[in-house]
Structures are given as C-alpha cells and as structure tokens.
Amino acid sequence: MSSHSAFAEAADALAASVLGALVGTGGAVQLARFVDDAPDTLAALAAVRVLGADVFSPHLLAGQAFDPQDAAVVVKAFDAFPASDTAEEATVARRDHATAVLLARLSGDGTMRELAPEPAGDALAGTGEWSAWSVRMAQLAPLATIGLDGPVHEAARSGALPLGRGVSRSILRRDFPTAGRLVRWLAWLRHEGAALPLDPDIVVEHVHLVGGAGPRAALDLAIARHFLEQRPGTAPKAART
C-alpha cells in the first residue's frame, strides 16, 4: 500500500471514530489509543493532521471530556507534519491555526496556539468570484464549529449568498462532498441567527440520501445537523483565530 493510500485509509478510520462519538453510536474518541493501535503510526498521525479541528467535534459539540494524552498526540502529529506557514498554503495554514487554537482551549494550555500561528496577509473577504471563493470556504469547513471566530467566520457572515450558490452549484455537479462542506457553513450561520438564501435542512437531507458519503463527508453532515438542531442565535462566545 502506498503512503497516500495508507494516509487516506487512516483518515477515513479516524473520521468514522469521531463520527461515532459525535452521534452516539460509538465510544469516546481516544486519539492516543487510535495511534497506539494503528498498524502504521505515521499514517495515524497524518490522519490527526488531516482531520484537524474536526477531531475535537465530540468534545465541542457533544460535551465529551478531553484526555490530556490526546493533547500530546496532536502535538506529536504537528511534530511529524509541521504546520504550514507559507502564503502558497494559506488555506492549510488557516486550518492548522484553528486546530492549535482549539487544542489550547481544550487542554487549558495557551502555549499550544504556538504550534500554528495565525497566517498574515490572507484576504478572504472578496466574494466577487463566488465560485472560487466557495471552493476555498469548502476547504475551510473544519472551522465551521463551536469555539472559533476570526477572518474566515467574518467572511462566511458576509457571504451567505455565495455560499448558497456554491451549494447549488455543487449539487448540480453532483459534487456532494463539497456541498456537504458548504452546507455546514450555512448551518453554522443559521445557528448564529443569520438569514439564509436556502433551507440547509433540505440540503443536508438531500446530500445524505443521494451523496453516498464516506466517513469524512458524513462527519460534515453530522456537524451540520448539530447546528440545525439548535435554536438559532444561541451560538456561544468563541475564541478568535
């Protein structure tokens, strides 16, 4: 098996574990056990980095306790695959920074933010080229969660219409993973009390029924459902990213 295949397989396995913990069909997510039991330690650490902020979903959204041993695993994953700090990888850098911010929040150790400093000079506000912008917002879907706030979230607040267009375009193209990532942003916006150009409940159900989602896409839909099941306008105070 190639490294790419091993990494992808490990990411799917971790996503399935996180999904089970979030929806209550599995036990608590234990990153330390996941890595210890993995046949390929490096692939398991890569999976932690690929999922990024989403590994914290059961703790943020379902109230599960966070194990200090899991914090050490995330640090080890950053050691194995250092955070991006180049302008060419601005999207990856944003995701890395979000992971570090949430790790600091859950662990109670503010120095964890230093694992991935906030990228500078990364413009996100312009939505004139809405199709390219929505693709990037889909790539940043792990930031659509509780506990984060920053430039990406400000862009989402001012971009409900292009997000809706991106969802519609993705469905027409049968790109259901991208549709699931974008509707996650719309669900987050409704949780904040924002008015939306389309009904995210219908989109989530449609993508679920026809998308044939793998575990990572299913996790996006599960997180979107979490927001849609909450009363709009009840989002808690978040940390700046």
pLDDT tens per residue, range 106-161: 999 999 999 999 887 666 655 568 999 999 999 999 999 999 999 999 999 999 99
Other C-beta atoms lying within 10 Å of the C-beta of residue 92: 19
pTM here is: 0.92
Look at residue 3 and tell me whether its pLDDT is greater than 70.
Answer: yes
- When pLDDT is cut at 50, 70 and 90, the band that residue 29 belongs to is confident
Distance CA(178)–CA(167), nearest Å, equals 8
The arithmetic mean of pLDDT across residues 156-169, rounded, is: 96
Q: Which residues contact 91 (CB under 8 A, 6 or more apart)?
A: 136, 139, 140
CA atoms in the 13 A half-sphere facing the CB of 137: 37
* Element at 148 (helix H, strand E): strand 148-149
Distance CA(87)–CA(181), nearest Å, equals 23
Look at residue 240 and tell me whether its pLDDT is greater than 80.
Answer: no
